[in-house]
Amino acid sequence: GQQVMQIPQYQHVQEGEDFTTYCNSSTTLSNIQWYKQRPGGHPVFLIQLVKSGEVKKQKRLTFQFGEAKKNSSLHITATQTTDVGTYFCAGLGGRRALTFGSGTRLQVQP
Amino acid sequence: SQTIHQWPATLVQPVGSPLSLECTVEGTSNPNLYWYRQAAGRGLQLLFYSVGIGQISSEVPQNLSASRPQDRQFILSSKKLLLSDSGFYLCAWSVLPTGELFFGEGSRLTVL
């Protein structure tokens, strides 16, 4: 079945440093979505990418969708303590429901 | 505006006891509904999804079941809980299967 892998599992950065999480799917995706889950909370939608090679920016966050539509990345520039949480990618392949990656937990040291 | 309600928020159940988690969505019609489970420090595992009343797709063989008795109501059940059923259960809805998911606050289940 479809699998979505994310690396790293965990990253601890100093405030102001950059952060990147990578997502890889075993199958081609029709779209990819990114979610953020604060500690103790529920996942909240950040963005959706649909086109091959697509790049979208939200303030300090940059999202990319690979040319082959099998991988994606989220890059945060100059992290802040408010960026703390777990970031999930989720892809839609052949099924009618999203498959989530394992997530990357980000800790930001002030 | 649309809202999603999920309850109970927290429960502690003994092994072998039954389970019922409920989820309702307001402000939309014919939503796609989902149950995900998140083990401690892990990702989200899709358990069930539904595209309409009485239509349930199961993703993972287990001792859980789901039902959709009304358009905006989704119920997760078990007749006999196992220790491995512990986790954070999240209900979600979407307008389209390809669209963003809106999650409920979650139900944290501990099976002892």
Specify the pLDDT at position B97: 77
Compute the mean pLDDT over every residue in chain A, rounded to the nearest whole number.
94
Q: Is B36 on the interface with A (CB under 8 A)?
A: yes
Nearest CA-CA partner of A6 in A21, A28, A26: A21
C-alpha distance from residue B97 to each of A75, A99, B72, B83 (Å)? 26, 12, 16, 32
Is residue A2 pLDDT above 80, yes or no?
no
Percent of chain B with pLDDT over 70: 99
Q: How far is CA A7 from the centre of its chain?
A: 10
What band does A74 get if pLDDT is binned at 50, 70 and 90? very high
Pairwise CB contact (< 8 Å): B102 & A43: no
Nearest CA-CA partner of B86 in B12, B5, B21: B12
Pairwise CB contact (< 8 Å): A33 & B103: no
Contact predicate A72/A47, CB 8 Å:
no
Instruction: Work out the minimum CA distance from B104 to partner chain A, whole angstroms.
Output: 7
Residue A96 is encoded by which pair of tokens?
């009618």
Residue B100: list chain A partners with CB under 8 A. 33, 45, 48
A17-64: pLDDT as tens digits: 999 999 999 999 999 999 999 998 999 999 999 999 999 999 999 999
Contact predicate A93/A3, CB 8 Å:
no
Pairwise CB contact (< 8 Å): B46 & A101: no
Compute the mean pLDDT over every residue in chain B, rounded to the nearest whole number.
93
**Facing residues of B21 across strands?**
B76
B60-111: pLDDT as tens digits: 767 899 999 999 999 999 999 999 999 999 999 999 877 899 999 999 999 9
Pairwise CB contact (< 8 Å): B98 & A90: no
Q: Is B10 on the interface with A (CB under 8 A)?
A: no
What contacts A58, CB < 8 A, 6 or more positions away?
A: A46, A47
Pairwise CB contact (< 8 Å): A97 & B90: no
